[in-house]
């Protein structure tokens, strides 16, 4: 059996699903199926190891965008999938730390916690927000409206393709809610 991705294994030409941490029997540490060993190189590059051989990797988010630590493809230099991380919680120790650092640096999804303003400026909407990652400004097209998410929050895509998740209304201050509701209706 050879690992083809974290969460699946190939045995005799067919894929076999490996158990997640939640599905393992009580007392099992899952070390044998803990996914690839990951480290950060001195230059900050994410590196995976199989059979002692290093492979430089990059993280590629899969869906859903609203769960940034889940379903992340690790790609090698040839853009081939090296591993699929179903959930960061399934990785162990240093591998999990290296994965989470690489994921944070990739900046896939900014979480908006406060909206200072969202104003029309020459055919675009200019946003000034506070995110969990710090203050940000960005622009959206006037006809790109926030999309409501099943969680109660909203998803906004800026003109550069970056994604912003707006916290559910009850977690926003009154001013942020007024600005958001004006755009979401």
Question: Which carries the bigger pLDDT value, residue 105 or residue 166?
Answer: 166
pLDDT band at 44 (very low <50, low <70, confident <90, very high): confident
- pLDDT for 167 equals 78
DSSP tag of 94: H
Q: What is the pLDDT of residues 78-133, one digit of tens each?
A: 989 999 999 888 888 899 888 887 876 776 678 899 999 999 998 999 999 999 88
pLDDT at site 56:
94
Give the residue, 42 or 26, on which the prediction is more confident: 42
Residue 135 bridge partners (DSSP)? 130
Given strand 37-40, what is the order of strands in its sheet? 37-40, 46-50, 53-61, 70-75, 81-87
Compute CA distances 11 → 15, 21, 49, 163, whole Å.
Answer: 6, 21, 20, 38
Tokens of 108: 């896939």
Q: What is the pTM of this model?
A: 0.48
* Long-range contacts of the stretch 166-170 (C-beta < 8 A, 24+): 166/112, 166/115, 167/111, 167/112, 167/113
Q: List residues bridging with 39 in a β-sheet.
A: 47
Please check the confidence at residue 20 and state whether its pLDDT lies above 90. no
Environment class of 17 (CB within 10 Å of its CB; exposed 0-12, middle 13-18, buried 19+) = exposed
134-154 pLDDT, tens digit each: 899 999 999 889 988 877 788
Write down the pLDDT at residue 107. 60
pLDDT band at residue 33 under the 50/70/90 scheme? low
Q: How confident is the model at residue 68 (pLDDT cuts 50, 70, 90)?
A: low
């Amino acid at each position: 059996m050879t690992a083809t991705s974290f969460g699946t294994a190939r045995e005799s030409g067919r894929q076999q699903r490996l158990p997640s941490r939640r599905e393992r029997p009580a007392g099992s540490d899952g070390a044998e199926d803990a996914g690839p060993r990951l480290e950060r190189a001195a230059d900050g590059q994410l590196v995976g190891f199989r059979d002692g051989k290093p492979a430089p990797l990059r993280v590629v988010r899969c869906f859903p965008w609203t769960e940034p630590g889940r379903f992340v493809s690790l790609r090698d230099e040839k853009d081939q999938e090296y591993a699929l991380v179903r959930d960061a919680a399934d990785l162990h120790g240093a591998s999990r730390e290296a994965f989470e650092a690489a994921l944070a640096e990739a900046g896939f999804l900014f979480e908006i916690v406060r909206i200072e303003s969202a104003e029309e400026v020459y055919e675009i909407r200019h946003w000034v927000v506070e995110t969990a990652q710090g203050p940000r400004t960005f622009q959206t097209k006037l006809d790109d409206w926030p999309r409501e998410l099943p969680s109660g929050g909203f998803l906004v895509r800026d003109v550069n393709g970056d994604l912003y998740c707006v916290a559910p209304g009850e977690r926003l201050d009154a001013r942020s809610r007024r600005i958001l509701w004006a755009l979401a209706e």
